[in-house]
Amino acid sequence: MPTSKNFALIGAAGYIAPRHMQAIRATGNQLLAAFDPNDSVGIIDSHFPNADFFTEFERFDRHVDLRRRAGNGGQIDYVSICSPNYLHDSHTRFALRSGAHAICEKPLVLNPWNIDGLLEIERETGKRINTILQLRLHPAIVALRDRVRNGPREHKHEVDLAYVTARGHWYLQSWKGDPKKSGGIATNIGVHFFDMLHYIFGALQINVVHLATETKAAGYLEYENARVRWFLSVDVEDVPAAQRESGQRTYRSITVDGEEIEFSGGFTDLHNRSYEEILGGRGFSLEENRTAITTVAAIRTGKVTPSQGDGHPFLKHQA
């Protein structure tokens, strides 16, 4: 039987943290310590009621260090990182310097040059930073990638991507509404889609931004094997009228050459699958994040040119 691993969790009060707690338990491991400045973390009781919890990073740091130095087998083997995006870089460094491997939520970092520093920390410590790129494990996405790879290459595929996930007024008041902390809409809600596009269609060649506001973004991307029109939003008004009238607050659509790619199901166990791969030594590495991080950084800092390239159909409804 494989030995159970000891985990610590940074960002225990966040939206995505329960999926990590569930994955730690599902893979037969233990959460020993958790940290979050916010103490709304009762969810821990559903998974690891005996985990130590800290609201001050300094005390959490001391606890992890004491475990490391005790030499009694209670040291932390992995630190799972679910903190705000702009802190991922620092928290992965903390994990490795504490003698643990890291498992970091998307986006790994906000800028591609931050990856270079993390590669250096990996070399110095001999520990590994694993990243959650769960769409790469989705059966429908893997099947599409195989179809593209094995199909004819006479022309590029025509792809439309729309993702609307409505958020209330709280969103812009939280760290997610601050581009310096979240990276903006394209980074915060879109980075895993841009990684998916690169994973399926190859190297990125052209990146044009058509729209960039606090609540929505759109543009055109060209990859080795695809031309992509994309639209992202947290504004409920961008949910198509028929779905909105039925009470739906999210909308996701990806078409390839006019054919809808159905992958709305199969998401519930992707974090479990991610952990299984990581614990088996098959996690996604730092370099595998570079194209997506470069893509969203260019969208964040690039000039908006509405007339350049082919615009997503949803742009027609924008004021």
Q: What is the pLDDT of residues 160-169, one digit of tens each?
A: 999 999 999 9
Q: Token pair 């893509």 is at which residue?
A: 295
Q: What is the pLDDT of residues 69-88, one digit of tens each?
A: 998 889 999 999 999 999 99
Residues of the chain with CATH 3.40.50.720: 6-131
Based on DSSP, count helices (H) and strands (E) in the chain, helices before strands.
12, 12
Whether the CA torsion 234, 235, 240, 244 is positive or negative: it is positive
Q: Cβ neighbours of residue 180 under 8 Å, at least 6 residues apart?
A: 86
Q: What's domain 135-317's architecture?
A: 2-Layer Sandwich (3.30)
Fold annotation for 6-131: Rossmann fold (3.40.50)
Tell me which residues of the chain have a pLDDT lower than 50: 1
Q: What is the pLDDT of residues 27-64, one digit of tens each?
A: 999 999 999 999 999 999 999 999 999 999 999 999 99
pLDDT of 318 reads: 79
Residues of the chain with CATH 3.30.360.10: 135-317
Q: Name the pTM for this structure.
A: 0.93
The kind and range of the H/E element at 79 are strand 78-81
Distance CA 142, CA 139 (A): 5
Distance CA 215, CA 232 (A): 8
- The count of other CB atoms within 10 Å of the CB of residue 236 is 17
pLDDT of 307 reads: 79
Q: Cβ neighbours of residue 207 under 8 Å, at least 6 residues apart?
A: 219, 220, 221, 295, 298, 299, 302
Q: Are 32 and 7 in contact (CB under 8 A)?
A: yes
Whether the CA torsion 95, 99, 103, 109 is positive or negative: it is positive
pLDDT of 1 reads: 46
